Amino acid sequence: MSNKTTTLGQFIIERQADFPYAKGELSRLLRDIAIAAKIVNREVNKAGLVDILGDAGTYNIQGEGQKKLDVYADEQFVSALRSGGECCVVASEENENCLYIESEISKNAKYIVAIDPLDGSSNIDVNVAVGTIFSIYRRRHTEANTKASLEDVLQKGDQQVAAGYIVYGSSTMLVYTTGKGVNGFTLDPSIGEFCLSHPNMKMPKNGTIYSINEGHYIHFPQGVKDYIKYCQQHDPSTNRPFTSRYIGSMVADIHRNLIKGGIFLYPSTSSHPNGKLRLVYECNPMAFIIEQAGGIATDGKGRILDIQPTQLHQRSAIFIGSVDMVNSLMRFIDS
């Protein structure tokens, strides 16, 4: 039995042949993101010891209060992407407009990164898992003297060249895909490296976990209400009732369901008729990952990755997870 440890850096280099067009840029970009993740992880782990918990006193474009750690995480990822030289645009949940990087080392950069720097930040003060979600696209036009634009960011999810998330929990994991399957890496604090721990991750076809904020039940569409009642009914032949598990961090909920099997539901409501989660930097990257792991992601009408974004902070409903569970939900929505 081999005890060989494969680090994220080694794994990326070994997979470089899968992307002959990238010439190393995509590999370096992924490593830049991993470096920022280590810095954010350090601060998350010591957040209770320093003055970094709580509100920053500012609001993001969604009108949501920004936590201090939100702002810190955003700064770290932007700094890493700016200094790496492989990214020309950063689209972040924390900023109203895209950040166009026009430094000398980035003038020929080919990639766009859309990111939610700290998903589930309302959990920070109570020591519950939070995460980072990222999405990478190739710039549409790379001709000389052409600058990146919002059009480069507003691409369908099926145009992503890579996507991933980092979950900061009892252990810190980075999970990503480049369209060639999904692999997970756990941070080994003794050497400061992400090490391959979950190769070729596959989502179980079925599961017994459903994840939804049932506090908003009265505002859900009827089909979603009917599905929740189905999940709660007693039927040993289908392992029901299912288990309700909702953390309040999309990263943590979907990470658990990816490993154990399950479905994550965030429907439209009367107060958010278009859904609440952001399409570009939350729904699209998670949909790409889950599809690559063998699952399904839909907004209740069609495939998430087929939606054409028209706004940077566009919202969407999302139902994502194990094939059999999502298909079962859709029968209730379509009825």
Task: Specify whether the CB–CB gap between 303 and 283 falls below 8 A.
Answer: no
3-state class percentages of the chain: helix first, strand second, coil last, to nearest 5:
40, 25, 35
Give residue 223's pLDDT.
97
The residue ranges of every structural domain in the chain are 8-198, 209-334
User: Which homologous superfamily does the CATH classification assign to the domain defined by 8-198?
Assistant: Fructose-1,6-Bisphosphatase, subunit A, domain 1 (3.30.540.10)
> What DSSP character marks residue 62?
T
Task: Specify whether the CB–CB gap between 59 and 166 falls below 8 A.
Answer: no
Task: Render pLDDT for 72-115 as a digit per residue (tens, 0 to 9).
Answer: 999 999 999 999 989 999 999 989 999 999 877 777 889 999 99
Distance CA 136, CA 328 (A): 31
What topology is assigned to 209-334 in CATH? D-Maltodextrin-Binding Protein; domain 2 (3.40.190)
Task: Specify whether the CB–CB gap between 136 and 86 falls below 8 A.
Answer: no
What residue type is assigned to position 186 of the chain? T
Q: Where are the beta strands (DSSP E) in 41-190?
A: 55-59, 65-67, 87-92, 99-100, 111-119, 130-138, 160-168, 172-177, 182-188
Which residue matches tokens 């689209």?
91
What residue type is assigned to position 122 of the chain? S
Q: Which two tokens stand for residue 117?
A: 């720097």
Please choose, from the candidates 291, 325, 293, 315, the residue with its C-alpha nearest in 3D space to the C-alpha of residue 305.
Answer: 291
The SS3 of residue 98 is: coil
pLDDT in 10s for each residue of the chain, 335 residues: 356 889 998 998 888 766 655 568 888 899 999 999 999 999 888 766 666 666 666 666 666 665 688 889 999 999 999 999 899 999 999 899 999 998 777 778 899 999 999 998 777 777 788 999 999 999 987 666 678 889 999 999 999 999 999 999 889 999 999 999 999 999 999 999 999 999 999 999 999 999 999 999 999 999 999 999 999 999 999 999 999 999 999 999 999 999 999 999 999 998 899 999 999 999 999 999 999 999 999 999 999 999 999 999 999 999 999 999 999 999 999 98
The SS3 of residue 254 is: helix
